[in-house]
Structure 1
């Protein structure tokens, strides 16, 4: 189990049971507070780095961030900044050991989480709540085992909580509300320590908080009142009906006044003089001045102005609109009024918007037609833009209110289809379905979204809830160049959400390849999670304006190919929006199309050097008296001879799942390029990273988040290895499909479209697809 310290909010210290309080006092009284006086305890070490986090007390995020900080410092070749860490009752002080200048002071009451890196037991990190309320992760490498420093931090908190407990007792005894004076800064939340790790191999073990005796040297639990959590402002609007949880959220109608509306955005028909005058009056001189200036420049376009005065919204959108006696033109203008405003609000990341019931007053339009058109367009847009929409009707307009209410209820009922159009076929052990509906309601293991499609991404995140929004933003912040971001499902019925990067391309061949890569990445992650069902959207078939024929044909063919080739039980759904009948028809046609000309399936032959195993082992030591062993050593020595003293062992990596993915990818490369582009290259890394790679392949998220680097020069890869406690290093011999390669540079975050890898033109190759390489051997040496 990882050693972590978690500051957890609980009740006040006065609520401790008497026997627990006694134990706390006994334990704390045995501690020596004097050693933390003055400059306190001093620890030598280096700063690994500092990173801002979006979530507090997330162990995995902290460990991933520490690993990323180490890799970033190493890649930039930055020198290590030696420090002295002084630990006092007041907190942690970091001093530059060379210049003796002060770096930072972190007060005890603002430290909320401490964790030791199981991959490097001299490294630990802690979360500090900065004065601007941002969360800072400080990663430190100590001269001795980090356990020593972390336990000293724990001791500071024990002493601090003891002081608080005594103060609480004194307060209760004196029945006074005045807190006794003390020189101690109390932690805002209580510290909870966990047992230290047994070995580095426990890095993937889920941490559990198990209360133990207060006298345990490794676990301490105490109560302390915590500050009220920061709450985000939520819309006070309620849906007209809450029975249908799958319907677009929070489309409602209310009687009221736009000037008192609390939605993020209020929309004003600038052609309605009565409404315009009221809004400008309530908004004050600044709003009126901004509106006048903007309208002079362009009176025919949407004008967005920051709200002010007595207005409770954040923004005001002024939109011109005029009625029309032609019903078709009238409906078109009403739809445009709604869509222009909602698309603008979505682009500005607003969560709620309020409209007036335009046309139902002095313009004398049919209230029934206006309500039907405005509500219908709002429903369509909310399904893809994830924003709360309100229609505000004047209090005396009962008939208008009734029309809007009726239309909302009607559309909610219509949204519950009695029969969902579905078409399906069996492919081997798998099943392929085409279905109309909402992807967020699918009860599958995983649903797929495109992080490059703002509409789809926001629709999924809005339906999934704030927990998913926070998880996505955190992952994106930590891995901005990741091809795939995987999050929890939140409120959705699936188990996982996969957000993939994808961009259309006007070149047909590049568009096809981007779709193949998209499907490949999803299937690999489905396999790694042992999932049996997945739902895809019809990417590229909406506002991107791509060739529907190419998109649909490529998606269906690639899924069919995967199901036939892998012969595993997987249900794949293509979810089509209900109004996209032509897209639905095209998917059905392609699914039913015979694939006789697709070619022979991949022949699954394992390497002849592999040995059979009855267990789940993937690492096999190669005997040093075999040709296989000598061949690996001979190639290694071409550039490494004289640079090491001993080869400890060579292990053969027999990860069959990984190998089958690589083999299929290799066949695809050969067909596409009409040549074999496989190379045997080296990849050096720390031992902990090697263990992760063996289990989960050269996953870019584990490795670098952008691409994976290989070299034909073992001596070059040696620079990226690090010694373990036995002074041993490790390096992979890998089979790599370089495909069509192009010269890259340090500014590249991904491969250019149409290419499979980048290179320095000499010995370095960077791949961007997880199935593009496979570890064949791991050399351990000194």
Structure 2
């Protein structure tokens, strides 16, 4: 075997076969070998090589064309040479426009205006500043400036003006409109910049001068607490004031806060937030006093107030309301005496509601005593001093109790309360090179701003019909829609400020509420002087229920309807036909009639009243008081501890209907069947009965053994078993005038008396009546 080229023997030597021919290594390298693109020497067979686009390299010669670094990864330049990534980037990659060095991907860089910068090279274009643009930049004339330098530059060469949007605008609305205003500004070669800041505004909620509705103070404060959890209520007392707010005592910025030191919850919270120094100071001062009832004053530590007063309060273990009231009064007096006559001259103090975590304590008594004691102390000292009561935001019922008591001491012209709301304060800065452009833009933007909000005034003579509850509901409705309402009952005016479309809806809602108030007022007014009756037989007439009379009269006198569907006392759906003066139920048709009650006089012992329903507490020395107590004591002596009060109930509307019913019954039966009876119930039921009478809602409340109606007893001891004590152990019992009429033994199946009878009975002392106007609550006895 020999080399195909040089014919030398290939025995015992290495050779290469190519194209079915054998070559010695020397001939093969000369004929077919590759030369290194770097060193231009022959690459011997078996040597490690690199290859790219027809070129070959020794492995050690495969280096970056620029830095001579051996390559594992490479880039091909425009000159067809191979480069490492770094050298390729330096030669062909993007450059920083400041230092002209390459932008390496591993380093942070900035892209602005279509150009690239090293992060450290991206600086303010002002030579006097040249700080890194880390917090925003503004481009100008192919340079970039920080906002401060930009404003300085612009101010020297441009015209500028600042506009302020109404603070009632909400941020969501503004951000929607901002792009529209910026687009308009650009059309006038003007730049628009905005600053949005939150701003707090306090809204005054007016008090209704004369609330002629049937709402009680409890109804009003419950509505207020529900709609406005952060409502601030205030009552002026001589030169000072008493306020009520929701919040934490430890976060208040008053001169001094008062902590009930026997309440572990309050004490721990305040000491923890005040800090270790106050904790140690409190422990030290407490150890110096050996008396259990001593009070301790410390610095405020980390709190926002100036000082902290720690005072113990020991709640009575029994439910004696007098003991509870006295203990709270002593606590308040001790604290206020210390504060009001302090040499440091404190002007504001904050208390926290207390006792609500103790089951034996009546919050009604605690709230009343704390507020009344504060009022008495302010009246006694005549100092300029403000006392605030704070209730935890989650204690809804406690807040309502304090609110109810505070409304009782408010002056007639004082606001009902105050509410803080956050709105957005928007400042717009307009900048232009030409003054004419600036003026044109200012006019356009100003017009656009004014279109966002508007103020609408309305004079309404019917505001007299509004109740405090309607005011609270309407104000809540407006604030939820970023509308600022202002009602003046004195001027009978309404002002609404906000978005135009939202104001339109609010105005409609105002009119709806006004119509609702007028309807309620009309219903109350007409039911005082009108009676509707239906004919039972040829000579017997029965008046409709309290509620039905109002519905029928409203449909007849105000709506001018020809007919009306009602549900009567027997749960029958009847049609009232005003044209024929008939009532139809299935096949039964009976006559109806309308009578005026103007001639019915009120009892001689009643006092003058401005509202339809009033309650008057009787003086213990009067014969009226003694007479009611005597009838109560006939069966209740040694059963109760004390009588807290006897109230005379003066509900004109209810009494007139009762009197008309009494006169009709006397005429029909030819005898007077009126009886003085008793009715026991809970305080909640008592308040409802005083406003709405013994209507069908109370049917069966005290049992149904003798029929499904309102139960009365001849003996107070029997009615006592149906009373429900409140948290202070106080019970309620009515002394009522009841029209027995013709009575019959009742049973549990009776929904109404049999035909020809007026009531049912146990044939002893229990009487059950079924008509709203068949009983009138003359007096309410509260006893313990």
TM > 0.5: no
Query: What TM-score comes out, normalization by structure 1 length?
Result: 0.30
Greater fraction strand = 2
Query: What TM-score comes out, normalization by structure 2 length?
Result: 0.30
